[in-house]
Amino acid sequence: MTRRVRDAVMLPPRTLTMSDRLLPDSTYPFVYLASQSPRRQELLRQLGVSFELLLPRPDEDAEALEAELPGELPEDYVVRVCAAKADAARARLVTSALPAAPVLVADTTVAVDGAILGKPASADDALSMLARLAGRKHEVLTALAVVDADGKPLMPALSRSVVQFGPVAADALARYVASGEPFGKAGAYAIQGRAAEFVERIDGSHSGIMGLPLFETAALLRAARVAF
């Protein structure tokens, strides 16, 4: 199966000025992205969206927001975490001297048999996750939220995709884990990377599996009056 993604449009860096603080009925020339993910940055560039990073401060416990609650369903988990990240990002912006603009937040998780597979804590953890996914289907859920420049959250979106892994030999999984790519990735793999060789079929959004569903992202950014 062949999957194609448009080449990213690289935008030059820009310096924010007070002229970026537009009137309420105007459009905004950029959005704040509250994510360190290079994949989400790449996907925003693909849409032609200008963005500035709005990352957690050193005194923020960003990992605590991703803690799973007992008995929590994957869909409830990813939506809750996304909402918590949106609240934290907006509070970060309000207490800064940065110009007003909408804030974009996303969170991705992988689920199999109703269990949430987060980011692996070790090589053994990554290998265990991948062995669990090999030869079967799993879900990739990405929740997306935009807080407009007035601080009001827009209706969140949820992208749900099904990924089928083909059979994968144990030594192939071990080599993949040794490459280092699984770390920092929900479910211990990156579909746009070397793990693409494991993927037999997808049903859903390729960009959503990468971490930022572009159809839903474009709709929310337009609703927030972001120009692109």
Active centre residues (catalytic): 107
Element housing 206 (H / E): helix 206-210
Do 147 and 89 touch, CB atoms closer than 8 A? Answer: yes
CA dihedral (180, 185, 187, 191) in degrees, to 10, reads -80
Concatenated DSSP letters for 80-138?
Answer: HHHHHHHHHHHHHHHTS-PPP--EEEEEEEEEETTEEE---SSHHHHHHHHHHHTTSEE
Task: Tell me how far apart the alpha carbons of residues 68 and 95 are, in angstroms, rounded to a whole number.
Answer: 28
Element housing 189 (H / E): none
Task: Tell me how far apart the alpha carbons of residues 192 and 157 are, in angstroms, rounded to a whole number.
Answer: 22
Cβ-based neighbours of 40, under 8 Å, separated by 6 or more: 33, 106, 210, 211, 212
Q: Three-state DSSP class for 13?
A: coil
Do 52 and 15 touch, CB atoms closer than 8 A? Answer: no
